[in-house]
Structure 1
Amino acid sequence: MNLEQAYHDYRPLLFSIAYRLLGTVTEAEDIVQDVFTSLGTVNWNHIQHPKAFLCQSVSNRCLNLMKASVKKKERYVGNWLPEPFIHSTDNEPLMALENKEAVSYAYLVMLETLTPTERIIFVLKTSYAIAYDELAEITGKTEVNCRKIYSRARQKMKSQPAVETRPDSKGVMVQRFIEALHNGNITDLIQLMREDTIITTDGGGKVRAATRQITSIQRIFAFFKGILAKEAFADEMILTQANGSPALMVKAEGRPKALWLLALTPDASSISHVYGVLNPDKLPKNI
């Protein structure tokens, strides 16, 4: 196998690893590209296990970037949300995240509660079955420590499935969500939610957004009343696919303005969390 063939065969897998670890599409793409660029001067024939070698190379770079990003996220204005993966025929290298293999958005949000070391061990072990001896080599920890870290991370993540289990039900809920917003009917909108539903919006200090999570039905009612009055949903609203399930895209003058993603209760009967990605840096330029 030559480097060109390896690029063709493993690029989607490597992107899926990097995206789960970093939570950003752009950085994940850059990491994968950098790995292959750095191999331009390497004798590829001397690499006995190319898949393992590439996965480890990407993981090491991601871990370094994750550690460097901790303080950056601490200084971030308001809530930090992952960059959604918007499904598009233009995203050929991202095919590993399509359909049932797509990592759910709520899962990505939950991954943010882990430390960089917890995250890389949990993701690589859970999603890619990487052995503990390899995890030890990537993280610089002992195998025993890796087992302990994985157990701790799994406890933090146990309430959140990696893949949406009922995308059809979510599609119905998103349609009802869109209809209520289109009609300006806040009562119908609130009826889709639980008493403990949470809203998280991410503007990154670049556009107006709530800098704290919104909890309680009363505050959620006031929130939607306020943004509807400001015609936040007066532009084009379309149903799109993000992270393996339906989502609401708001467009202005043909360009994405906001993406709203929903997390449902286990029985898919109501909305448990609403994520509003408003930061233009986390939205596609065109779709």
Structure 2
Amino acid sequence: MSSTNSDPAATFESHRRRLLGLGYRMLGSMADAEDAVQETYLRWHAADRGKVSDPRAFLMSITTRICLDILTSARARHEEYVGPWLPEPVLDTAALLPDRRTELAEDLSIALLLTLDRLSPLERAAFLLHDVFDFSFTEVASTLERSEAACRKLATRARTHVRTLRPRGTGAPPEPVGGIDAKHVRLISAFSAATQSGDLNALTQLLASDVRIVTDGGGKPAAALTNANRHGGGHEITGADRALRFLVGATRERLNPEWRKDVRFRFALVNGLPGVIVEAPEGPVQAAAFEIEGEVIRALYVVHNPDKLRHLVRALAVAGAG
């Protein structure tokens, strides 16, 4: 008797990491990805496993189809979302990696996830299954219930969009295990100091001329950390001049009497990028990821929607224990 029949739970667990990685890349949400994987688990136990010759392909196909169903309703939620949308930040990217280690497979940067979000659901699925998770187009066609030719076209269109829209230098660079590169810590620390002091000259030196700042509050009332938090929405800003005005305004907000005194800042890798987590007694209240090229910041992504930070409680506890 095969292990598929004798121990279905063990068979499933051996594939959980790649299923979760697929779900997160498809949905941009750890909570939704975990729900998709749990639904896959239930369908796996209900299936006639004696007829399953390749558990990996079977489970990946189920997860993909569930994600496509979720994306239908997620698209509607996207349209009603208040302010810019960012994916849920993750700290442990190793837990979401596929078996094949390539630059694209290891890239879970926010920039790439935003690029994937611009694709149609079918384009995203075909591209991820083939280019990231090493499915043959025969397997992709079976999963998406389309012809191989159609799936090749979907993947090609997606690949073109990814190459065009994915900013240069956004692949997660090699980082020391368990922490951020020291030079990135220094740069982020200098950025924080310049922001707090209002040193516009220093900030100008630290920001790329076309720097992009995106903040995601999701319309949720949250702790007053910045103007973006106060209004519950978010901002999307491009260009050093606008970024400087925004940062100075946010700093003034922080210096008012309502600025919380009970928060602490923790350096962490956020989606494989150097970042900072802001923690309050009730848990994480903000996660920031810095896209750095050379000695300047090219992009800053800040999530303070509390719904997108809940899963970090467990991740931070594991990191603290380690």
Q: Decide: shared fold, TM above 0.5.
A: yes
Counterpart AA for 1:117: L
SS at match of 1:240: strand
Distance 2:158 2:186 in 1: 33
The equivalent of 1:91 in structure 2 is none
Give the letter aligned to residue 238 of structure 1: R
- Pick the aligned partner of 1:272 from 298, 310, 313: 298
Given candidates 208, 226, 246, the residue that maps to 1:194 is 208
Query: Does 2:276 align with 1:248?
Result: yes
- Contact 2:218 2:233 (C-alpha < 8 Å) held by counterparts: no
Contact 2:19 2:59 in 1 (8 A): yes
Alignment of 1:114 onto 2:119:
yes
Deviation for aligned residue 1:87: 3.1
Determine if the alignment matches structure 1 residue 222 to structure 2 residue 245.
Answer: yes
Which shifted more, 149-158 or 37-46? 37-46
Deviation of 1:182 after TM superposition, in Å, equals 5.2
Partner secondary structure for residue 15 of structure 2: helix
Decide which moves more: 27-36 or 225-234: 225-234
| Equivalent in 76, 80, 84 of residue 81 of structure 2 | 76
1:144 equivalent to 2:149? Answer: yes
Q: Deviations over 1:47-106 (max 9, x none)?
A: 211111001111111112112321210111111110011239xxxxx7234999462222
Structure 2 counterparts to residues 29-68 of structure 1, below 5 A: 29-68=34-73
Which shifted more, 42-51 or 77-86? 42-51
Report the residue type matching 1:282 in the other structure: K
- Segments of 5+ residues of structure 2 without an aligned counterpart are 176-180, 222-230, 317-322
Aligned partners of 2:27 and 2:71 also within 8 Å: yes
Change (3 A) 1:96 1:217: closer
Contact 2:124 2:158 in 1 (8 A): yes
Equivalent pairs, count: 280
Displacement of 1:130 in angstroms is: 1.2
- Which of 11-20 and 37-46 deviates more? 37-46
Change (3 A) 1:97 1:228: farther
Q: Distance in 2 between matches of 1:147 and 1:162?
A: 26
Contact 1:178-1:237 at 8 Å conserved across structures: no
TM-score, normalised to structure 2, is: 0.78
Question: Does the 8 A contact of 2:86 with 2:110 survive in 1?
Answer: no
The CA deviation at 1:279 is 0.4
Q: Does the aligned pair in 2 maintain the 1:200–1:213 contact within 8 Å?
A: yes
Deviation, 1:119, is 0.9
Cα pair distance change 1:172/1:116, threshold 3 Å: farther
SS class of match (2:279): strand
TM norm structure 1: 0.87
- Tell me the distance in 2 between the aligned counterparts of 1:191 and 1:209: 30
Bigger RCO (CA 8 Å, 6+ sep): 1
| Amino acid paired to 1:5 | A
Aligned with residue 288 of structure 2, among 235, 254, 260: 260
The structure 2 residue matched to 1:205, chosen from 216, 219, 223, is 219
1:19 aligns with 2:24: yes
Partner of 1:158, secondary structure, is helix
Instruction: Give the RMSD, CA atoms, in angstroms.
Output: 2.6
Cα pair 2:273 2:290 within 8 Å, conserved? no
The alpha-carbon distance between structure 1 residues 148 and 273, as it changes in their structure 2 partners (threshold 3 A), is same
Look up the match of 1:5. 10
Q: Cα gap change, 1:195/1:144 in structure 2, threshold over 3 Å: closer, same or farther?
A: same
Amino acid at match of 2:278: V
**Residue segments in structure 1 that go unaligned for 5+ positions in a row:** 89-93
